[in-house]
């Protein structure tokens, strides 16, 4: 068993020792933190996109333009 798997299994066993109400609360806390992380990622992606547009590095076009770029036809 890898060290990472061992840590993960230890965490699960620790959580299982908690009362059910605490387990439920922990799940909600983790869910909220994951949502916040995802929001931060989305915000960073949006800022990167805006920066690319302002710097003239963004390209615009249709789906067909994208297909052409990806296939090397343009």
Tell me the Cα Rg of the chain: 22
Q: What is the predicted pLDDT for the residue at 74?
A: 56
The structural domains of the chain, with segments of one domain joined by +, span 19-71
Compute CA distances 56 → 59, 62, 68, whole Å.
Answer: 8, 18, 20
The predicted model gives 69-74 an average pLDDT of: 78
DSSP 42: H
Q: What is the pLDDT of residues 12-59, one digit of tens each?
A: 999 999 999 999 999 999 999 999 999 999 999 999 999 999 999 988
Residue reference for tokens 């929001």:
39
Q: What is the predicted pLDDT for the residue at 9?
A: 95
Q: pTM, whole model, 2 decimals? A: 0.66
């Amino acid at each position: 068993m890898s060290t990472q798997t061992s840590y993960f299994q230890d965490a699960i066993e620790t959580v299982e020792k908690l009362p059910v109400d605490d387990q439920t609360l922990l799940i909600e806390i983790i869910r909220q933190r994951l949502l916040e992380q995802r929001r931060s990622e989305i915000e960073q992606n949006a800022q990167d996109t805006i920066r690319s547009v302002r710097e003239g590095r963004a390209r615009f076009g249709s789906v067909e333009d994208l297909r052409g770029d990806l296939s090397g036809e343009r």
